[in-house]
Amino acid sequence: MEKELSILIILLISLSVFCFPMLGIGLSGSPYIENSGSEGGLLGNVTIESDEGLEDFVEDKELPGDGTEENPYVLYNYTIDGTGDNYSVYLENTELHFVIKNSKIYNSSEACMKINNVSNFTFENSVVKNSTYGVEIESSDNVTIKSSSIYDLNSTGLNIESSERLDIRGAKIYNITENGLNIESSEDIIIENSSISENERGIYLQNGANNNTITNNNISNNNWGIRILESNNNLIHHNIFFENNIQAHDEGDNEWDDREVGGNYWSDYENRYEDANESENIGIWDTPYEIEVNNSDNNPLISPVGPPINVKAQPVRAEYVNITWDSPLYSIRYPVEEIHLYRGEEEDNLTFYERLNLTSQVFRDENVSEDKTYFYGLVASNEKYDSVMSEVQRAQPDTTSPEVQHYYLVDDRLFEKDDEVPINATILLTFSEEMKKDSVSISIEDEDGEDIKGDLYGEETEFYFEPYENLSYETTYHISVNGSDKASNWLESPYTWSFTTISDTGMVGGRIINEEGEPLENVRIYFDEENQAFTDSSGKFQIEVPSGNVTLEISKDGYQDKEIEIQVNQSEEKEIGDIILREQEDIVTRWFWPMALAGGGILLLGLIAFIISFYNWEEEEIPPDEDIYDIDYEDVYQEEFESWWDDENS
């Protein structure tokens, strides 16, 4: 027996010497990595303190990648045992793109991973456990923790300080003595689609953790679901707060709903607000959920999964009802798996009718009768929750053809006449019921059969056709319209009509009178040879003139001619009132007083001249004869003297 036992012991020792090196474990028990290429194996604690150190590590372990965003370095499928040292992984001062994926990191005294002053690092689909801290991130940016589990820790699962632009997505953080996530002095952190449970505090924001987003998470069975101190402008919405001892505590200024789709789901809501009701069939309670100390979720969710939206139940003639919808706006943590259709003939009495195809978002209900009205509602379901019912839709099989009327629209003014249509008009079509938008068509041709191009737009019962260019003046156009209503009933026949545009002229009217106010007949009002008119016995006239500034000449024998300038708009009927003509005077009457005045003036001037001349003659003194001889004539010629003497004595 002793001999057999000795042989067995020797055999086991031999096997261990042979097998342990093959498994990558030395006889001393210390871990080492076999040169296994790009993935797999065991590692002791990893310390990288620069990009150069990272490159050396990559080269030594023959890891794939080149450190770029498109092709990062990847450490894949490793087990990293810290063997009780401070850190299993210590990464510092790096900017190269580096990924640790499908790995297990454990057994350190302070933190399984320490990330300090690092950019472009991703920790994906991996496990962290058995330490004081799980992952510590300080002074870092562009770090992603994705689809990883962090659990069984003595202090904090994920500790983030003085960092920004971090993504925590799809994480599972649980069974931690203090904080699942602790965020301090950090911004632009996204925590999304994660499960945070069975911790003292699920999420702890403190000391300037501002402008972060927490959405689509399951925060459950913690002592504190979320606690916020001295932190502001954080957005917290579409999370499940389920059976936390204290669901939420907020001493900052933060938003607890996204103001569009809703807030959060609170498992204790109905116990706290027994009289609350649903608001407008959108899966939101009408009473806010109060949050300590001075905050509230103003749009608390009735269920963690939202109802289908934009539900339509449209009958197609009397053949079937077409049900369409869009996906729910939210389904927290779990994807929507099914859409349930409820139907009834009374709005408040719907029963389950059909399980619908999730991806098609359309269902045809052919089990309908023309003489009945049906009501439909939809409910979304994921693996744990059902939504509230969507807004109930009414449908009644329809076999009636729609009708249509037309108008003309210019600057918000509506015209109905077909014979004086402005050249810049938009055609307005009004239908008797809601139409299929894509079915409505219009064609318009001028007198020469040329198509008029333009934009056709509108919806429901009103559609508009706007030509690309103004129409021509004094032209007849022919129009044809067709289309079907929502039940696919077409117009009984294409709707057709014709219209004529306005001319590029206006009408001017007035009355011609004399100075005594009496009407003048046969007064000529003239613009050009083609545009002239005469007054009737009452002195009235009408004349057609081109639009714009025009000058009219007014004349009548025996009266003074007159011109007037006016502004005339297209197709305007302008009334200019009374115009006075003055009589002409005959030639004698016309010139008597001017000639009389002129003659009188001439006579007066002659009389004045005569008086002045006479007065000067009487006053002139004639010198004595002897004075004549006193003149010195020494230099006077004989002929000049004789001439002078004759003049003096004549």
Q: Tell me whether the omega of the peptide bond preceding residue 293 falls within 30 degrees of 0, making it cis.
A: yes
Q: What are phi and psi of 620, to 5 degrees?
A: -70, 130
Q: Which of 176, 100, 178 is nearest to 145 (CA)?
A: 100
- The tens digit of pLDDT for each residue in 194-214 reads 999 999 999 999 999 999 999
Residue 37 confidence (pLDDT): 36
**Shared-domain flag, residues 540 and 557:** yes
| pLDDT score at 548 | 82
Residue 140, pLDDT score: 97
Q: Out of 474, 500, 526, pick the residue that ends a domain.
A: 500
The pLDDT value given to residue 605: 82
In this predicted structure, what is the pLDDT of residue 108?
93
Contact 279, 270 (CB under 8 A): no
- Classify residue 630 by its DSSP letter: G
Strands 149-161 and 404-410: unpaired
Q: Is the pLDDT of residue 377 over 70?
A: yes
What is the three-class DSSP state of 598? Answer: helix
Cα separation of the two ends of the chain: 205
Q: Is it the case that residue 28 has pLDDT exceeding 70?
A: no
In three-state secondary structure terms, 641 is helix
Please answer whether residues 467 and 506 qualify as being in contact, where contact means their C-beta atoms are separated by less than 8 angstroms: no
Q: How many domains does the chain have?
A: 6
Higher pLDDT, 640 or 321: 321
Q: Is residue 188 part of a domain?
A: yes
Residue 266 in tokens = 């609170």
CB 300 within 8 A of CB 265: yes
Torsion of CA 53, 56, 60, 62, to 10 degrees: 110
Higher pLDDT, 292 or 176: 176
Q: Examine the domain organization and report whether 223 and 339 are in the same domain.
A: no
* Cα dihedral across residues 263, 269, 275, 277: positive or negative: positive
Q: Are residues 336 and 315 in the same domain?
A: yes
H or E element: which one contains 185?
A: none
pLDDT of 341 reads: 96
Instruction: Please choose, from the candidates 403, 463, 404, 460, the residue with its C-alpha nearest in 3D space to the C-alpha of residue 436.
Output: 460
472 with 485, same domain: the answer is: yes
Is 376 within the bounds of a domain? yes
Same domain flag for 296 and 346: no
Residue 83 in domain = no
Please tell me the predicted confidence (pLDDT) of residue 650. Answer: 58
Predicted local confidence at residue 406, as pLDDT:
95
pLDDT average, residue stretch 34-57 = 79
Q: Are residues 545 and 532 in the same domain?
A: yes
Check whether residue 480 and residue 372 sit in a common domain: no
| pLDDT value of position 584 | 84
Q: Do the domain assignments include residue 400? A: no
- Residue 419 maps to which CATH number? 2.60.40.1220
Helices (H), 181-274: 269-272
Report residue 344's pLDDT band, with 50, 70 and 90 as the boundaries.
Answer: very high
CA–CA separation, 167 vs 187, rounded Å?
Answer: 11
Higher pLDDT, 316 or 452: 452
The number of angstroms, rounded, from the C-alpha of 478 to the middle of its chain's C-alpha atoms is: 38
What pLDDT is attached to residue 635?
53
Backbone angles phi, psi at 381, to 5 degrees: -140, 135
Spatial separation of the C-alpha atoms in residues 319 and 487, rounded to whole Å: 9
Write down the H helix ranges in 357-402.
Answer: none
40 found inside a domain: no
- For residues 388 and 524, membership in a common domain is answered with no
Please say which residue of 301, 321, 338 terminates a domain: 301
Structure tokens at 63: 């890891």
Q: What is the pLDDT of residue 8?
A: 44
Q: Please give the structure tokens belonging to residue 577.
A: 């009132």
Q: 362: domain range?
A: 309-395
Mean pLDDT of the chain: 86
Q: How far apart are CA 424 and CA 465, in angstroms?
A: 11
Q: What CATH code is carried by the domain that includes residue 259?
A: 2.160.20.10
Judge if 287 and 166 occupy the same domain: yes
| Residues in contact with 298: Cβ distance below 8 Å, sequence separation at least 6, in sequence order | 256, 257, 263, 288
**DSSP 3-state of 59:** helix
Shared-domain flag, residues 176 and 284? yes
Q: Are 565 and 421 found together in one domain?
A: no
pLDDT at 598: 76
Residues 429 and 513 in one domain: no
Do residues 71 and 65 lie in contact, with contact meaning Cβ atoms separated by under 8 Å? Answer: yes
DSSP designation for 570: T
Q: What is the pLDDT of residue 644?
A: 63
Whether 191 is in a domain gets the answer yes
Helices H / strands E in the chain, number of each: 5, 45
| 3-state helix vs strand vs coil in the chain, percent to 5 | 15, 45, 40
pLDDT, one tens digit per residue, over 220-276 is: 999 999 999 999 999 999 999 999 999 999 999 999 998 777 899 999 999 999 999
DSSP H helices in 518-637:
587-619
In angstroms, the CA 603 to CA 625 distance is 40
Last residue of a domain, one of 445, 474, 500: 500
Q: What is the CATH number of the domain that holds 541?
A: 2.60.40.4130
Eight-state DSSP code of residue 487: T
DSSP 3-state of 646: helix
The pLDDT, as a whole number, for residue 383 is 81
Residue 8 falls inside a structural domain: yes
Is residue 492 within 8 A of residue 512, CB to CB? The reply is no
User: φ and ψ at 459, to 5 degrees?
Assistant: -160, 165
Q: What is the pLDDT of residue 153?
A: 93
Q: Hey, which residues does 379 pair with through a beta bridge?
A: 340
Tokens of 20: 């342990």
Q: What is the bridge-based pairing of β-strands 476-482 and 495-500?
A: antiparallel
The pLDDT of residue 642: 67
- pLDDT 10s digits, 261-271: 789 999 999 99
> Which tens digit of pLDDT belongs to each residue from 564-622?
888 888 777 889 889 999 988 755 555 666 677 777 778 888 788 777 776 665 554 54
Residue 444 in any domain: the answer is yes
